[in-house]
Amino acid sequence: MTRRVTANISLTLDGRYHGVGGPGDLAAIIPYATTEVARNHLARLHEGATTAVLGRLNAEGFLGFWPSVAGDDNADPRDRGYAKWLVDTEKVVLSSTLTDAPWPRARIVNAPTADVVTELKATGTGDILVNNSTTVIKALLQADLLDRLYLMITPEIAGGGSRLFEDGLPATKWKLSLHETGDFGEMAMVYDRVR
């Protein structure tokens, strides 16, 4: 049995993963990141995952932030659970510029995303999670290698910025497996690929 490939990302109502100000413009997403629905979503997405696949930028951001949460007794237990998982799990960082991994249990791979994930699927056990690395997620959507999508939709229109679902992706069908709506209108959804 091959491993399931999962991906998580937060999007605005108009499908943007950042606003008009560029990759750092998360004004329409950040306010919803610590809601009950978002934290439940975070706790759910790494269950069963044994490998994290990250692009370089996300690896630098995540691995610069989450390890401190893992040791913070005052952090929300769901945040701490994800942080501990990220610190302890195998991490594959896709990069054409890094040569050595400055993080424990991480390795750098300079190869096409689809090739790396296809190889990971054929070896080991447990889910492979791509958390918020948009270039990786886009490549996997293009290659039809994603089996599950964890989506957080915020109730805001960014009005500009990059979209996850761009024209040219192969047509695919998905089944809604879970849906949760928060007090502010944010939605956590889990979609499974119908093959």
| CATH code for residues 5-194 | 3.40.430.10
The two structure tokens encoding residue 109:
């791979």
DSSP, residue by residue, 50-93: EEEEEEHHHHHHHHHHHHHHHT-TTS-HHHHHHHHHHHHSEEEE
Q: What is the pLDDT along the chain (195 residues), one digit of tens a residue?
A: 679 999 999 999 999 999 999 988 999 999 999 999 999 999 999 999 999 999 988 888 888 888 889 989 999 999 999 999 999 999 999 999 988 888 889 999 999 999 999 999 999 899 999 999 999 999 999 999 999 999 999 999 999 999 999 999 999 999 999 999 999 999 999 999 999
Domain residue spans of the chain: 5-194
Q: State the Cα–Cα distance between residues 102 and 142, nearest whole angstrom.
A: 30
Tell me if 145 sits within 8 A of 17, measured CB to CB. Answer: no
Residue 1 confidence (pLDDT):
67
